[in-house]
């Protein structure tokens, strides 16, 4: 019984360290994306998506909860740091978390726990998983934004969100 305590403590400590490190990296990458904004508050490139999806691909399913918590907190903080409303910032945080989890889940489902960009087929499926996760989150962004700014074009919002998230997750090899 004594041996299980350090393992539990190490597991908890590992999760906290992972969440903090991922959260800091996600926040900084998100702020970088907001510097290159097409409109105030609308990034044309969201590199933070690559941070979170990459962490889940590299670390596997045991990292889901710490990475998801980090994405939610860091994404919400990014929105608040540019003056976005709290409710919209939280909604975007939830959508960014959803996109990360869906993309990583699809990759793990299609390729198992060990995923490598070894051939064209894997690269294409990686892009497919990224597009599906981005499309789902973009649809959610349309709903969230339409509640706050009903005059904004849904197609414009969807296209920007989809492009920014998809570009942010591209593999480093490409």
Rounded to 5°, the CA angle 129-133-137 comes to 170
Strand positions, DSSP E, 13-170? 37-39, 42-43
* Per-residue model confidence as pLDDT tens digits over 94-105: 999 999 999 999
* Per-residue model confidence as pLDDT tens digits over 128-153: 999 999 999 999 999 998 888 888 88
Domain chopping of the chain, boundaries? 4-168
* Per-residue model confidence as pLDDT tens digits over 52-62: 999 999 898 88
pLDDT surpassing 50 at residue 172: no
Token readout for 124 is: 């294409």
Sign of CA dihedral 85, 88, 93, 94: positive
pTM of the model: 0.86
Nearest residue to 141 (alpha-carbon basis) of 41, 23, 30: 41
For the ranges 40-54, 65-79, 117-131, the lowest mean pLDDT is seen at 40-54
Domain 4-168 in CATH 1.20.1250? The answer is no
């Amino acid at each position: 019984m004594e041996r299980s305590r350090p393992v539990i403590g190490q597991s908890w400590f590992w999760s906290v360290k992972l969440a903090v490190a991922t959260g800091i990296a996600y926040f900084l990458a998100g702020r970088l994306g907001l510097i290159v904004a097409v409109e105030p508050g609308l990034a044309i490139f969201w590199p933070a998506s690559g941070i979170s999806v990459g962490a889940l691909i590299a670390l596997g399913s045991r990292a889901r909860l710490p990475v998801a918590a980090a994405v939610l907190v860091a994404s919400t903080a990014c929105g608040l740091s540019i003056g976005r409303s709290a409710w919209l910032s939280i909604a975007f945080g939830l959508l960014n978390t959803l996109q990360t989890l869906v993309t990583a889940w699809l990759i793990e489902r299609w390729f198992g726990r060990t995923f490598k960009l070894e051939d064209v087929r894997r690269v294409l499926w990686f892009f497919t998983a990224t597009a599906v996760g981005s499309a789902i989150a973009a649809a959610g962004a349309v709903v969230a934004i339409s509640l706050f700014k009903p005059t904004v074009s849904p197609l414009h919002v969807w296209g920007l969100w989809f492009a920014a998230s998809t570009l942010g997750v591209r593999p480093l090899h490409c």
